[in-house]
Amino acid sequence: MSVSPLPSQRSDDALDPTAMRQPLPDAWYCVAESRALKRNGLTAVALNGEQLVLGRGADGAPFALRDRCPHRGMALSKGPFDGDTLMCPFHGWRFGTDGRCRAVPTLSTHDAADFSRIAVQRFPVRESAGFVWVNPSLQEGGPVPAIPALDFEPAGSLVVALEVEASFDLTTLSLVDPGHVAFVHDSWWFRPSKELREKVKTFQPVEHGFVMTSHATTKSSPVYRLLGGVPEVEIEFRLPGVRLERIVAGAKRVANYTFATPLTANRTLLTNALYWSMPALNLLKPVARPLMRQFLTQDQQVLQHAQAGLDRKPTMVLLGDGDLPSQWYFRLKREALESARAGRPFANPLERRELRWRS
Ligand code: FES
Ligand SMILES: [Fe+2]
């Protein structure tokens, strides 16, 4: 994809342009809800064109393996798992949760074939904020963007995930795009006024991203007003495709986290997780779920139509302050790729600045 105009963009020769079109290879991606991973059960997920099988070992720790038996390619997620080994349902080869082949039951005791060196690829896996995170990179890279975490104990949470038929980049841009909100998310409960108003917000660089800090006004969304008082809102974007909205009103805390996960080159998973510290809000869950789904579906629909346009002509025109965060996304991604290739630490290329737009 080419993007223009980008006055601050450095020349493309330093970097393979196809690398810029792909999701960051060495980063943590949200692949499943923690509660979806049960002991003795297996979960199949897609990540960046790869198929993975997820599960929990006897100690409860999650594992992530390539969902492909080395023998003849069978999906290991289709076979049984006894909490210790996965059995391929095709010819019964067994694999430990570390990926190593443990048994080939069809071998005769007279057969000298050695299976001890056969292994399924194992991927690094972590758990945080109620989700399972996998890094699809096979090379041991340098420091990568931190996995999102919660800084309070939630009384409840609500998760909605949708698959979007759009590239990872296009979907991720929607997380940093203030311009689409007034047009795409115009539901009464989110944006009661139809008027476009001038916005001035200060942005500053943070580790692997940028953050916008502000005090919500009385004119803000009813969602904010629900908290009472004048809540303080902080919205962070962080590579590879993470938006962290943190709302503080006195002792009350709400976090609205959104994660983009590349499934294939043209399918992206959009996961939205809302967490709150007030037990009373648990009662609103049945009301909030369809609203959150509606909000995410608005993004899904517009992104799919935009992707169809980009498929016909893969260029964008990024214009004005409102599109600067989108340009910043590409600059951060470029720096992540360049610093990894040069084997040097990531140096955030952004500076603190005020942005003005109407929304
Ligand atoms: S394909 Fe897995 S054991 Fe043959
Ligand atoms: Fe959106």
**Where are the domains positioned within the chain?**
29-134, 156-358
Q: Is 95 in the pocket of ligand 1 (CB under 6 A)?
A: no
* Class (C level, CATH) for 29-134: mainly beta
Q: Do domains 29-134 and 156-358 have the same CATH topology?
A: no
Query: What pLDDT sits at residue 280?
Result: 92
156 with 296: CB under 8 angstroms?
Answer: no
User: Ligand 1: distance of its center to the CA of 93 in Å?
Assistant: 6
d(CA 298, CA 296): 5
Mean of the pLDDT values across residues 57-62?
A: 94
Instruction: Give the Cα separation of 68 and 66 in Å (integer).
Output: 6
Q: Is the CB of 74 under 6 A from ligand 1?
A: yes
Q: How far apart are CA 316 and CA 142, in angstroms?
A: 31
Q: From the CA of 89, how far away is ligand 1's center (Å)?
A: 7
Is 80 exceeded by the pLDDT of residue 139? no
What is the spatial distance between Cα 25 and Cα 21, in angstroms, rounded to a whole number?
11
5 pLDDT above the threshold of 50: no
What would the two tokens of residue 240 be?
Answer: 């590879």
| Confidence band, pLDDT 50/70/90 cuts, at residue 10 | very low
Give the residue, 30 or 5, on which the prediction is more confident. 30
70-89: burial string, b at 16+ Cβ within 10 Å, e else: bbeebbbbebebeeebbbbe
Find the ligand nearest to 292 CA.
Answer: 2
Residues recorded for the chain: 359
User: Hey, what amino acid is at 113?
Assistant: A
In the predicted model, is pLDDT for residue 204 greater than 90?
yes
Q: How far is the CA of 342 from the centre of ligand 2 (A)?
A: 35
Indicate if the pLDDT at residue 6 is higher than 60. Answer: no
Which homologous superfamily is 156-358 in?
A: Naphthalene 1,2-dioxygenase Alpha Subunit; Chain A, domain 1 (3.90.380.10)
Asked if residue 90 has its Cβ within 6 Å of ligand 1, the reply is yes
Q: Compute the average pLDDT of residues 201-227.
A: 80
Any idea which residue has 């049960």 for tokens?
Answer: 38
126 lines ligand 1 (CB under 6 A): no
- How far does the centroid of ligand 1 lie from the alpha carbon of residue 36, in Å? 26
43 and 54 Cβ atoms separated by less than 8 Å: yes
Nearest residue (by CA) to ligand 1, atom 1, is 72
Q: 């140096």: which residue's tokens?
A: 347
